[in-house]
Structure 1
C-alpha cells in the first residue's frame, strides 16, 4: 500500500516549521489541508533543532520524541513516515504509538478491560433513564474523559458542547446519570478489579517519574480526551515542544473539552487553509455533508475554493449491493491504475460487511489488504485496502468507494440536532475527504441512508444500476 510521496513545505507550512519555541502549539486545518504532512515536517525540524543544540551544548542525554495517534491504523501509517523523516539520527529516541499502547507500556494492563466488557454494564445501569441507551453510553464516556476523577460533579453545571442539541440533557438528567450510572459503574469496577481506558489515562497522570519527552506530536488530537491530554502533559520536559494537530469538524468521538480546562496554555495557533488533497468536486461533496453543523473553536469546513485541482463529479450508484460492487470493480478495471494508484473501500461497520466484497475481489484476481486496527502499515504490492471509516482517519487514497450506505448501517435519532446524526455526518465527510481523485457512494434504492439526502444538489452524478 502506497505511502505519501515526498513533499516540499508550502509557504503556509514554512511559518509553522520556523516556530521552534518551547510550549504547546496547535495546528488546525480541514481535511486535505496537509495536517499530517505538516506534523511530520515539523517533527523533522524540531528534531534537527534539538539535536543541533544537544551537540552544541555537549549534552549526554538523548532527545526523546513521542508521536501519538488515536488508532492503530493511523499509527502504522505515521510510524513509517516518521521513521523516514528522522531515520537513524544519533542521540535521538523516537517512539510512535497509539495513546493506549504508550499508556499500557507505562503503567501496565492489569485489570484492563475493553468496551466489550464495560458497555453491557453501563447499558444495564442506564436502562431506566429516559434517553437512548447508546447515547447514554457515549455520554458516560464523554463525561469520564472530560472531567477529573475527583471533579465529576462539574459535569452537572458545565457547558455541554460537542454532543449535539438532541437528546436534551438538563441538570436533573445529569444528576441522575451521575448517581444512577456513573457512581454504580465506578463501584462495580472496583469490586471486579476492572480498569477501563479512561482509568488508564488517569493512572498515567499519577505515574511515577520516568524520562520525560522533549518533542511531542499528537495527530488527530480532536479525538483525544481531556484526561489523555492531561496524561501526556504530566510527562513532558520543562522546555518541551508539544504540537496538537487537529480539526474539530472531523471529531467522531464524544471528546469535547477546552484547552484551558485540560491545563494547556497554547503558545501559538496556526491554521492551514489550502486543500492539497481533494479536487474541488470532492471538497464540495464533503462540505455539503457538514454544512450547518457547529464547527466549534478548532473546526474548519472543507473548502472547495481552496483546492487547486478539478476532477470528475463523485458518483452515487443506486442498486443492489452486488450491482454496486460490480460497478466498483468495473471502475477499478477501466479508470484506475492499480500499479501506481491507491484505492480504499470504506464502510461505517466493516468486518462481515466486507465479506461479499472480499469474495468478488478475489474472484477478479485483485489483491487487497485490511487496514482496520492494523498496527503496522502494509508494505506489500496491494493497491486496494478495506477499512472502516473510523480507521481511515488521517489516511489518504487516490480513489475512495463507500458502498452499502443503507439506513441499516447509519441509524440515528429523528429529532433536530440529533447528536448521533451529527457524528455520522462528520464521519461520512471525513471518509470523503480521504480521496485525492474520485469518490463513489452506493446504496439500495429501497433503503437509503438519510445521509444521502444531505448531499448537496449538483455535487454528484447519480448512476442507476
Structure 2
C-alpha cells in the first residue's frame, strides 16, 4: 500500500491535468500533450504511482518511445522515483530483445546478424541489376525501402501502394521494386537482417505462434506509448499483438508535432484512439511550462493560421484542431524577425547575437541554431568559429566515442571499487582532474577546450544525479551508481549536455529545448522546402516550423536572407508561414498560398521559343528550342556549369550525364533560374536531383556574369 509521504512525493508539483494522468491507472487513456506541457513528467509519475500503489508490478510495465535518448531519460526519471524495474525502451529495442529470446525456440539456430547501415548492401543490390548509383541515390533508395517496410509492403506490393509517390533517385517505381527485392536477396546471402526486419519478424512470430504471444502478454500487462503521433503501421501492428484483447494502454502525443510522415509515421492512430476505444479517458495537457508567453503566442498563431486557411480552402486536407497552449512562465522578450542580404550576412548576425547572449550570461549549451537542411550548417560553423564561439554539431562525433570520455569512464570504473564515503561529485572532480578537468575552462578554443567541455559535462551530470538521488534522508548515491549510469548512457548514446552552441536540423531538434533558439534560413524554398508540392507536404513543413519555435524557452530569433551569396540576386522571399506574423506584414488579401506542383504542366506540343517550330526530339524539348536555332546562353555560365557537373560526377563516381544531360545543362544556362522553384520547372530536373544538386546549381549561376 502506498504511504502518504510517498504519495505526496510522487504527486508533488503536478498540475491538475498531470495529476489526473498520474492517478488514472486503469483502462485506455489518451493524453493529448502540447509542447512543453510536462508529458514525460506526467507519464513517469503515473508509472511510479502505479508501482508504489501495488497495482503495477514494475516488470509487467512496458513503456515505449522513439529514440534511445528519450527511453534513457525515462528510465532515469523512473529510477529517481523508485520505479527502476519498469521497462522503458524504443520499439526496436523491445522487439529485438523479444526476438533474441524467442528465435531459438521458434526458428532455431543463431539469430542473423543485425545490419547497422543499408548503404553497402543496397549498392550491391543495384550492381546485381547493373544499375548506376551514387551515394545520394543509395541514401534515397534506402529511405524508400524503409518506408515500404514500416508500411508492411513487400517488393511485389510496393508498386501499387506507392503510386503517386515521387520515386527516389530518378528511378521509376518498378525499378525501385526490383532494387528492393535484390536488397532482400543480398541480405539472405549475407545472413543479416535490418532494423525493420526485427519488427517484421517478431510480428510474424507473434501472429503465427499462440504460445509466444501468450508468454509476451503474460509478461507485460500495462503499456505506455510516448510520441504516439509518430507510430508507423508496423509499430502499431506490433503494439496490437502485445496488447491482444486487452485495453491497458496509455498513449501520449500531439498531432501538431507529426514531422516524420516521410518515414511512414502517421498521427491517424492518435486521432482515432477514441474510436477504437470508445470508453477511453482523454486528458489534455496545455499548460506550457517551457516557453515564455511571447514564444507560446507565436507557436499558437503559426498553427491557427493554417486552421483559418482550411476554412477558406475548398477540399483542404484534414487539419486536426491544434491544442492551444497556455504559457505558465513569466513574460520575456518578443521573438525577433530579421531579413539579411545573403547567407553569409545572416550567419554573421546570428553569431553576433549569440556573442551578446554569452556576454549576458546565457550558457553556450543553452543556445541552438536550427535549420531545415544539414547543408546549411557550414555557414554557421564558419561564423561561430570566426567569432571564437564553441559549437557542437548534432549528429557529429558521438559523445561516448571521444577518447577523453572513454578514458574517464575507465578511471571512474576502477575507482568505484575502492572509493570511500566522500561525496560522488567531489570524487569525480578529483579523478577527472588527472585528465585535464579544472573548475575554470581553458582560454581559447581548439582540442584542449573540446576535451575540457567533455569532462565538464561528466562533472555536471554527477552534480545533477547526486542532487536527484539524495533528496530523501536515507538515500545513498555511490560512484558505482554513477558508473552504471554512464555505461547505460553509452549503450543508448544518451549524452549529457556539453558546453557549446548546438547546430542542428529541425528534425533532429525534436524532444530538445534551449533558452535561446535561432531559426535560420526561413525563406521560400527552404521553409517550406521546395519539393513540398502538395498541401499535405506543406502542412508537415508548417508543423516542423512549429516544433522549432517550441524548442525555445526565452529567446527566439527568426531570420532569412534575400540572396544566397554576397552580391547575388536578391530574389528570395521570406517563408509564407511568416505572413501576418512578422511585424508590418499581413496575409495576402487574395488568400493563402497553396502548394504548387514542382513541374510545369505541358498542355500541348512543345515549340521552339526562337522560331516557333514544333520540337521533335527529347533533347530539343529539354532545351526549349530546335537544334538549328542559335543558343542564347552565356558561354562562361555554361562552362562553369559543365565544370561543376564534372566535379559532382567525379565525387559520386558516375558519368557526367547521370548528374545532368547536356540538354538539361543548356536549358539551365539559358533560363538561369533564380530560385529552386524555377529550377524545378526545367525538363530533366526532378525532385531528387533538385534536392541533391539544386543549391549547388544556384550557387554556380550566382557567380555568372549577369547574376
Q: Residue in 1 aligned with 2:370?
A: 346
Q: Of the candidates 390, 410, 413, which is equivalent to residue 531 of structure 2?
A: 413
Q: Residue in 2 aligned with 1:164?
A: none
Matched, 1:67 2:59: no
Matched, 1:292 2:292: no
Q: Of the candidates 173, 185, 191, which is equivalent to residue 191 of structure 1?
A: 185
Matched, 1:455 2:453: no
Q: Of the candidates 414, 433, 436, which is equivalent to residue 553 of structure 2?
A: 436
Q: Pick which of 394-403 and 99-108 moved more.
A: 99-108
State the Cα distance separating 1:119 from its structure 2 match. Answer: 7.7
Q: Of the candidates 330, 336, 358, which is equivalent to residue 355 of structure 2?
A: 330
Q: Is the 8 A contact 1:281 1:459 kept in 2?
A: no
Q: Is the 8 A contact 1:225 1:256 kept in 2?
A: yes
Matched, 1:279 2:292: yes
Give the TM-score of the pair, scaled to structure 2: 0.50
| More contact order relative to length (CA 8 Å, sep ≥ 6) | 1
Give the TM-score of the pair, scaled to structure 1: 0.72
Q: Residue in 1 aligned with 2:14?
A: 9
Q: Is the 8 A contact 1:69 1:99 kept in 2?
A: yes
Q: In 2, Cα distance between the equivalents of 1:199 and 1:302? A: 36
Q: Is the 8 A contact 1:126 1:181 kept in 2?
A: no
Q: In 2, Cα distance between the equivalents of 1:342 and 1:236? A: 40
State the Cα distance separating 1:389 from its structure 2 match. Answer: 1.8
Q: Residue in 1 aligned with 2:198?
A: 200
Q: In 2, Cα distance between the equivalents of 1:169 and 1:271? A: 36
Q: Of the candidates 23, 37, 42, which is equivalent to residue 38 of structure 1?
A: 42
Q: Is the 8 A contact 2:98 2:202 kept in 1?
A: yes
Q: Of the candidates 225, 230, 235, which is equivalent to residue 228 of structure 1?
A: 235
Q: In 2, Cα distance between the equivalents of 1:119 and 1:249? A: 34
State the Cα distance separating 1:251 from its structure 2 match. Answer: 0.7
Provide Cα deviations, 1:388-446, integer angstroms capped at 9, x if missing partner: 3212222222221223445565532375x444333222112111111121211232222
State the Cα distance separating 1:371 from its structure 2 match. Answer: 4.6
Provide Cα deviations, 1:351-407, integer angstroms capped at 9, x if missing partner: x64455446556666555555486444335626433332122222222212234455
Provide Cα deviations, 1:242-294, integer angstroms capped at 9, x if missing partner: 32211112111122264479x96473332223333232321332344443267
Structure with greater proportional strand content: 1
Where in structure 2 are the equivalents of 1:104-143 lying within 5 Å? 104-107=96-99, 110=113, 112=115, 114=117, 116=119, 142=147
Structure 1 vs Structure 2 CA RMSD? 4.6
Gaps of 5+ in 2: 1-10, 101-111, 133-137, 207-211, 311-315, 399-491, 565-570, 586-707
Q: In 1, Cα distance between the equivalents of 2:31 and 2:332? A: 28
CA 1:148–1:39 in structure 2 vs 1: closer, same or farther (change >3 Å)?
farther
State the Cα distance separating 1:155 from its structure 2 match. Answer: 7.6
Matched, 1:83 2:75: no
Q: In 2, Cα distance between the equivalents of 1:421 and 1:257? A: 16
Q: In 2, Cα distance between the equivalents of 1:253 and 1:377? A: 21
Q: Is the 8 A contact 2:22 2:43 kept in 1?
A: no
Provide Cα deviations, 1:287-334, integer angstroms capped at 9, x if missing partner: 444432679999553635566643222112333244233233234224
State the Cα distance separating 1:70 from its structure 2 match. Answer: 1.6
Q: Of the candidates 88, 96, 99, which is equivalent to residue 96 of structure 1?
A: 88
Q: Is the 8 A contact 2:347 2:383 kept in 1?
A: no
Q: Is the 8 A contact 1:247 1:298 kept in 2?
A: no
Q: Is the 8 A contact 1:317 1:324 kept in 2?
A: no
CA 1:83–1:393 in structure 2 vs 1: closer, same or farther (change >3 Å)?
farther
Q: Is the 8 A contact 1:343 1:384 kept in 2?
A: yes
Q: Pick which of 431-440 and 240-249 moved more.
A: 240-249
Q: Pick which of 104-113 and 423-432 moved more.
A: 104-113
Larger-Rg structure = 2
Q: In 2, Cα distance between the equivalents of 1:348 and 1:248? A: 20
Q: In 2, Cα distance between the equivalents of 1:279 and 1:286? A: 11
Provide Cα deviations, 1:191-228, integer angstroms capped at 9, x if missing partner: 21264543332112134636532343322121121211
Q: In 2, Cα distance between the equivalents of 1:126 and 1:409? A: 31
Structure with greater proportional helix content: 2
Matched, 1:398 2:515: yes
Q: In 2, Cα distance between the equivalents of 1:240 and 1:273? A: 25
Gaps of 5+ in 1: 1-5, 55-60, 128-132, 161-167
State the Cα distance separating 1:116 from its structure 2 match. Answer: 4.1
Q: Residue in 2 aligned with 1:385?
A: 502
Q: Is the 8 A contact 1:66 1:213 kept in 2?
A: yes
